[in-house]
Amino acid sequence: MALIRFETNTNVSEDRVKIIVNNLTKAVARVTGEPETEIRVEIAGNRRMRMAGSDEPIAHIEIRNVEIPKERAKEITQAVCPVIEDAMDIQDRNIYIAVVSRRNSMWRVNGSAQPQNDAPAQQ
C-alpha cells in the first residue's frame, strides 16, 4: 500500500484537498502501476517550512512504499509536479519529491504485518 505525504507552507482548502488527492493518486498509479485503491494520501498545509530561507510557497512530497526503478525518477517527477503546480500555484523549483522504495518494508493491515516484495518478515 503506497503512501503519498504532501506538505506545504500554504493553506490547503478543502476543495484543493479533493483535487490534490484525486490527481496525485492518478499520477502515482499511472507511473508505478499501483492500483488507485492501494494509494493513501496525507495532506498537511500551513507548515512552518522554508527553502533557502525564503517564505515563497513550497511543497514537500514523500511517496513511500512503491517500487520504481531509479531510472524512472524523472517520470514520477513529471507526473507529480504539474498536479501541485496546478492545484497550489507552487513553482516546480519549489517542489521537493522523495521516493522511498518498498524494499524491505512492512505495513500493518488488519492487525498483521504485510511484507512487501517477498522481503522476509522482521521480528
Strands 39-44 and 2-8 turn out to be parallel
- Residue 78's alpha-carbon distances to 103, 104, 121, in angstroms, are 23, 27, 34
Tell me, rounded to whole angstroms, the distance of Cα 81 from its chain centroid: 11
Identify the pLDDT of residue 117: 47
Supply the pTM of this predicted model: 0.80
Chain segment 30-73, per-residue pLDDT in tens: 998 889 999 999 999 999 999 888 899 999 999 987 777 788 88
What is the spatial distance between Cα 110 and Cα 92, in angstroms, rounded to a whole number? 38
Q: Cβ neighbours of residue 44 under 8 Å, at least 6 residues apart?
A: 5, 6, 7, 8, 12
Domains in the chain: ranges and CATH: 2-115 (3.30.429.10)
Identify the pLDDT of residue 120: 39
